[in-house]
Chain A
Amino acid sequence: MAHAEEIEINVIPPDKAKIKKLWMTALILLIITIFEFAVAFLVPHEYKDARVWIFITMTIVKAAYIVGEFMHLRYESKVLLWSILIPIIFIIWMLTAFIYEGMAISVVR
């Protein structure tokens, strides 16, 4: 196949701004992770609730960057965006239901 495949292919030169944006996203993800580490070590375990909320918020921010920028969902058509995001309410429902069940288990014990 070595000789058959040399078809003329136009290689488009890289778009520097686009590539820079991808590296910026990675940098943001790393900074958030480092921030999470800082919280894990610097905020004492006595502030359990504050720690947990910071971690959850940071996780959602990171998830938004990964799905939005890396997986390109932000730039897809709105129908696609919403047909992926709306079913997430099932996960939120499951979370709600299980927290409710968990509280019931704690009461029984």
Chain B
Amino acid sequence: MSSTSAATATGRSAWDGGASPMGASYGKLMMWFFLLSDAFTFSALLITYGLVRSAHGVYTGTVDAFTFSPEYWPIPEKVFEEIPFFHGFPAPLVFVGIMTFILIMSSVTMVLAVEAGHRMDRAAVEKWMLWTIVGGMAFLGCQAWEWTHFIVGNGLPGGGANLVHNQYGPPDFADFFFFITGFHGFHVFSGVCFNFLIYYNTVTGVYQRRGHYEMVEKVGLYWHFVDLVWVFVFTFFYLV
């Protein structure tokens, strides 16, 4: 922790070695660059979504009269309007809203765990890591429900969606749904695994003996990135 301010001998550049010119450890720096490359991957997926969407027909009628058709791209809020336990009750985007809320809250608990780690407060790190894991698992559960709902559809013959057939519109729409939310969901899943690892190491006192909780910070960066990606998926897949 104390090595973050680059102390260099006079006449030498901070880049001549022996110091951290960016004020961050190697591991933290590499996490940042990994996240940058991951940002490229997600941008590629979302931008391609935009391109393919613009290459499909546009629905021109009123929103109330909207029906699903492979001829044009669906209005997302007409696809995602179910919430658990209230079947047939239209609640457009409410469930995605709940998922967004869960992910933002788990981001706060993560940043509180990082803050507690800076203070060497082991009990607080344990508490906030546990809440973060709970949030991550709640999000994954929501996503499992949403995928099931999307795949099964209305239960009628020809209903639901898979990679080649789609009740809600062109098959490309379902393909992008599976790839973008699936890729993001996989990030959440691996994030929960990392969070659990951090929690385990905190409980067993690994970081206490090491003398710093920087691993919490590195995994925290990853977890916030997952939240960041969801902000973009939420806008470009569900709202626009």
A11: chain B residues at CB < 8 Å are 119-122
Assess whether B77 is in contact with A40, with CB atoms less than 8 Å apart.
yes
Alpha-carbon separation in the docked complex, A109 to B58 (Å): 13
Min CB distance, A25 to chain B, in Å? 8
B180 within 8 A of A: no
* Contacting residues of chain B (1-51) with chain A, CB-CB under 8 angstroms: 21-24, 29, 32, 36, 39-40, 43-44, 47-48, 50-51
Alpha-carbon separation in the docked complex, A107 to B33 (Å): 38
Assess whether A63 is in contact with B105, with CB atoms less than 8 Å apart.
no
Alpha-carbon separation in the docked complex, A76 to B104 (Å): 22
Contact with B along A39-73 (1 / 0, CB 8 A): 01100110000011001101100110011011100
B201 within 8 A of A: no
- B43: contacting residue among A5, A52, A94, CB under 8 A: A94
Min CB distance, A57 to chain B, in Å? 10
- A26: contacting residue among B32, B107, B124, B235, CB under 8 A: B107
* Residue on A nearest B22 in the bound complex, by CB: A80
| Interface residue count on the B side (C-beta < 8 Å) | 55
Assess whether B48 is in contact with A98, with CB atoms less than 8 Å apart.
yes
* Residue on B nearest A92 in the bound complex, by CB: B43
- Show the binding face of A for B, using Cβ within 8 Å: 1, 5, 7, 9-14, 18-19, 22-23, 25-26, 29-30, 33, 36-37, 40-41, 44-45, 51-52, 55-56, 58-59, 62-63, 66-67, 69-71, 76-77, 79-80, 83-84, 87-88, 90-91, 94-95, 98-99, 101-102, 105-106, 109
27 intermolecular pairs with C-beta atoms under 8 Å apart: A5-B208, A7-B208, A9-B120, A11-B122, A12-B119, A12-B121, A26-B107, A30-B101, A33-B101, A40-B239, A45-B63, A52-B240, A66-B227, A66-B231, A70-B108, A70-B110, A71-B220, A71-B224, A71-B228, A76-B24, A77-B22, A80-B23, A80-B32, A84-B36, A87-B36, A101-B51, A105-B54
- Show the binding face of B for A, using Cβ within 8 Å: 21-24, 29, 32, 36, 39-40, 43-44, 47-48, 50-51, 54-55, 63, 75, 77, 92-93, 97, 100-101, 104-105, 107-108, 110-112, 115-116, 118-122, 124, 204-205, 208-209, 220-221, 224-225, 227-228, 231-232, 235, 239-240
